[in-house]
Amino acid sequence: MDGSLLVLGIAGPELAPEEAALFRKLQPAGYILFTRNIVSAVQTRKLTDDLRDLSSDTPIIAIDQEGGRVTRTKEIAPVAPSAPALAAHKDMVKIAEAGAFTGDLLRLLGFNLDFAPVLDLDHFPESQNALRGRCWGRDAQRVIDYAGQWNRWLRKRSVASCAKHFPACGRAQSDPHHDLPSSPATLEELLREDVIPYTALMPELDAIMLAHVEFPNIDADFPASLSPRIIRRFLRDQLGFDRHLVLTDDLDMGAIANRYGRGQDVKLAIEAGNDIALICHRTDTAEIADIALICHRTDTAEIAARAVAELPRWMTDEARDRVERFRRKLCGPLVWSEDKWAKTCDSLAALAAVVPEIETSQAASPVAGY
């Protein structure tokens, strides 16, 4: 088994013995935490410290912390303004503060990678495509200016960033958490608009996350997240993102889980050019006992690790080299300080008070509740 190309979710707010034993055996590239894992600041920092202790090398410890409704720490800290709210405010200083304070908060909690910023152009602002309340705008230049500023200041605080969802989840008209959206966009159309923020910000991006959206006029066989045409030939060869870490969106989302089995999905992801397969393991069925969740995770994580081990050596070596290069750049957590935590929370609250949130219609995607 080979867990080195996997980022895995955690069942709850602390590691169960069975879960810890699995992670010691698989040695995944890293972990992702969600609201279900976050009860208090001290508990969250202990959990991220425990995850680091399980790993022989520095693990990726990631979170989706975009601001607004996609804020996993909303139960323990003030929420930073969303991308639409900051864009509407048009204050580059406030955007810088949002990125910087987010970075400070995450490093205190022990995170080293934030799955943000969203670079999707908001083509369909009335569609329920999981992006409501998350996009910086429709105009590529505005996205470059605003998302670039936020990204810059997050990284200045020593938290790595991940732009998403390449090449253009904003062209989806349905929610990939439920099904696989399809867009008729051509490569030429994407080059004219959607990929411009990625290429403009290329030197300042640490990682790229792929969209679970199919573009049949570009690849008739696979969605973008599993497409060699889009990842190897377009993103890496044509656009030059060959040294960036590239990873899938959550493979447990309906867009993929409803069409591919565990193992097959991971193989297709790495074959397509992803360096990491992201397996978050949804826990949205409340009546399932914790032990059942752990057993499910053990089963699927081991299947995924066996699938990686079955891939050609040159392919996994190539991906592993990029993962290791990325991990060497990651910064350790800040020394825990109750005073620093309180000051960071106060800064976020003050920022939110002067940047009013924007009411968003149809913002019912499960992405906000994870």
Backbone φ and ψ for 260, nearest 5 degrees, come out as -130, 145
| Catalytic pick among 249, 250, 265, 275 | 249
Beta strands in the chain (DSSP E): 6-9, 30-33, 60-63, 65-67, 70-71, 113-114, 160-166, 207-210, 245-247, 277-279
Any residues with CB less than 8 A from the CB of 258 and at least 6 apart, and which?
179, 180
The string of DSSP letters for 168-214 reads TGGG-SS-TTTS--B----HHHHHHTTTHHHHHHGGG-SEEEE-S-B
Active site residue 123: no
Active site residue 175: no
Closest of 212, 153, 208, 157 to residue 181, by C-alpha: 212
Q: Where are the alpha helices (DSSP H) in 211-337?
A: 228, 254-257, 264-272, 290-309, 313-329
* CA separation for the pair 112, 155 (Å, rounded): 10
* CA separation for the pair 275, 288 (Å, rounded): 32
Strands 6-9 and 277-279: parallel
| Catalytic pick among 89, 165, 177, 281 | 177
Amino acid identity of residue 100, one-letter, is: A
Contact (Cβ atoms closer than 8 angstroms) between residue 22 and residue 83:
no
* CA separation for the pair 106, 154 (Å, rounded): 10
* CA separation for the pair 243, 206 (Å, rounded): 9
- Give the catalytic positions in this structure: 177, 249
